[in-house]
Amino acid sequence: RDEKIDIEDLILSNKLTRNLDDYIAIGPQVAAGKLMAERGEDVGPGTIVKYIITEGNSKLVRDRVKLSDTVSIDEIDKDYYIDKQVIGATYKILELFGYNEDQIKGLNTGLDQWL
């Protein structure tokens, strides 16, 4: 949260499996592909898209996608990366050791905080 990370470490990348117009569900990788196409890049099946999730008013992640080469560190949605990428990836493992999501996030939400 203190911006001690290199923006390159936050780049998400996915390979498109079909043409952009063939996607029914528009996920972040498709949104990134559309941004690439808008700037004139050839995009289709097999294209690797690299993007960052930024802060914004929309709850839809796809609306907050920016191409990785157009983002500054202060635009990044830090909460998304913490909640969805870090905690999402580690929660099931740490849960086996008795940790809950609040403990993983470093929050003290137990009754002892009020005593």
The pLDDT profile of the chain, 115 residues, written as one tens digit per residue, is 555 778 898 999 999 999 999 999 999 999 999 999 999 999 999 999 999 999 999 999 999 999 999 999 999 998 888 888 877 777 788 888 888 777 777 755 444 443 3
Considering the entire predicted model, what is its pTM? 0.77
Classified by CATH at the fold level, domain 9-76 comes out as: Topoisomerase I; Chain A, domain 4 (1.10.132)
CATH 1.10.132.60 residue ranges of the chain are: 9-76
Angstrom distances, CA of residue 8 to CA of 18, 31, 51, 63, 68: 26, 19, 10, 21, 8
Q: What pLDDT score was predicted for residue 91?
A: 77
Residue for token pair 């802060």: 55
Residue for token pair 């913490």: 82
Say if residue 61 is exposed, middle or buried (CB neighbours under 10 Å; 0-12, 13-18, 19+). middle
